[in-house]
Structure formats: C-alpha cells, structure tokens
C-alpha cells in the first residue's frame, strides 16, 4: 500500500509514517523544507519537496499518482497569522483533495479540529477563530467530493505523552486530551477500514482499544440517535453512509 501524507514533517505525520513503514507500506511525505528530508527518511518515508501554498494542481497530482491513500495532516502551525490559516489549513487542504480526485486516489483522510463546524464565539482569539473557520471550510470542501472515500478525524487537545492504545472515537466525544501517538495509531487503523468512509469523528483518549473503536465506527454502532429521516436520505454512519449525523 502506498500512502501520501501532506504535512509530512508534522508531529502526527512523522509518527504515522513510521507506523506505516514498519509494517512494510510505502509512504511519501510532502514537505516544504528540503532540510527536513532526513527526518522523514529516519521514519522510513520518502521525502517529497512540495510547497502546497504555491504548488499547482498538476504538480500535486503527479505526486499522488499511483497512491492507494492520501492523508492531509498539514497546518500553518503555532505562531502563524490568520492569513496562513486560510492558505494552509483551508487552501492547501482543498488543493490536496482536488489533486487526489484527479489522480484517482479515493481513500482520503483529514486531520481536522474539534468545533470546526461551529461559528467561533466573539470572545475567541481571532487567529484561533480563523483557524477553526479554515478547518471547517476545508472539511466542507472534502465532504462535497463524490470522488473521495473521505474520513475526517478531529482530535482533542494533543499531548506528547506516550500512547495508551485506548481511545474514545465517536461523532461527538466532548473535549479531552489525546496523545499524538494515539492519533497516528487511529489514522493507521482508519486507512485499513474503508467502511469508515463518510464519517467525521472526534477523538480523545478513553477506554477502548484503537482497533475496537474503529471497528465500532465501521459497523455504525456508535450513533444510537441515527434518525429515520437521515436513513431515508442515505445520511450517516451506517454501511454506505457518506454524511455526518
């Protein structure tokens, strides 16, 4: 299996690259800075220099050709202003999704953010509000693509504590912490479970083993409030559902 990861030098991406490479997958990570190449090689990934803020759709499409899956894990990062939230957290995500469709890469994962579907309150820091709006707009753009088997993952507050292997993965978890190790483990499991396509999932640490949590989502058991109206419209977490409920 070949996976291309946007934001290949991010802390979650580096962990995911190592997990995939250790099991024998082929992994490529898109990076802006060539000096980051050795860090990717140390995980077993192939570094690909591609600045998603300036690259053309054709260029990104070429990097995705022949891949089985794509993961958008890029972000403008701490210290960046509102303008770069728009160009990276939204613009680069949309470009990467466009390129995946053009390259015929159906499986598409997005690392997003909790509350990205909500309008930020007026008292919120304006840069963080811009970040949430950008993530929400990117998620909407991905959901609108019929050519992608997308899953959107929204982690809680990220920590560098060792992974626990125990998580809570649901449409709504509420706020909580999640280790970056566990986010990477969940992404790996989601790549292996196509029945999670069409789901937007929140993630925090919990009591359920990663594989079991993903399996429950794939079977659609996590949404007991799945309504008959949603079922009639083909929306939600049942088998074949492609919407968010």
Supply the residues annotated as catalytic.
131
Angle at the Cα of 131 from the Cα atoms of 143 and 113, rounded to 5 degrees: 55
pTM above 0.85, yes or no: yes
Q: 3-class DSSP state for residue 8?
A: coil
Task: Give me the domains of the chain, ranges plus CATH numbers.
Answer: 2-232 (3.40.50.720)
Note the pLDDT tens digit of each residue in 88-101: 999 999 999 999 99
Question: Is the pLDDT at 71 greater than 60, yes or no?
Answer: yes
Q: Which residues pair with 202 in a beta bridge?
A: 154, 170
Q: What's the pLDDT at 78?
A: 82
46-52 average pLDDT score: 98
206-232 average pLDDT score: 69
Residues 6 or more apart in contact with residue 18 via CB below 8 angstroms:
43, 44, 45
Question: Is the pLDDT at 231 greater than 50, yes or no?
Answer: no
> Angle 93-103/57-64 helices, nearest 10 degrees?
60
Share of the chain above pLDDT 70, in %: 90
């Amino acid at each position: 299996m070949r996976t291309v990861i946007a934001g290949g030098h991010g802390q979650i991406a580096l962990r995911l690259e190592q997990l995939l490479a250790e099991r024998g997958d082929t992994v490529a990570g898109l990076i802006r800075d060539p000096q980051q190449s050795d860090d990717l090689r140390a995980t077993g990934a192939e570094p690909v220099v591609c600045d998603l803020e300036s690259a053309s759709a054709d260029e990104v499409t070429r990097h995705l050709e022949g891949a089985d899956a794509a993961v958008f894990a890029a972000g403008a990062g701490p210290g960046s202003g509102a303008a770069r939230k728009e160009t990276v957290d939204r613009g680069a995500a949309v470009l990467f999704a466009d390129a995946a469709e053009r390259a015929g890469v159906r499986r598409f994962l997005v690392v997003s953010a909790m509350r990205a579907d909500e309008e930020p309150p007026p008292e919120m820091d304006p840069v963080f509000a811009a970040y949430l709006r950008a993530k929400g707009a990117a998620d909407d753009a991905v959901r609108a693509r019929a050519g992608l088997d997308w899953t959107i993952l929204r982690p809680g507050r990220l920590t560098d504590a060792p992974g626990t292997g125990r998580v809570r993965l649901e449409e709504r978890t509420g706020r909580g912490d999640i280790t970056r190790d566990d986010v990477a483990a969940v992404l790996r499991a989601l790549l292996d479970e196509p029945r999670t396509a069409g789901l937007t999932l929140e993630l925090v640490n919990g009591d359920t083993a990663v594989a079991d949590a993903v399996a429950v989502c794939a079977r659609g058991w996590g949404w007991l409030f799945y309504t008959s109206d949603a079922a009639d419209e083909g929306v939600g977490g049942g088998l074949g559902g492609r919407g968010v409920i």
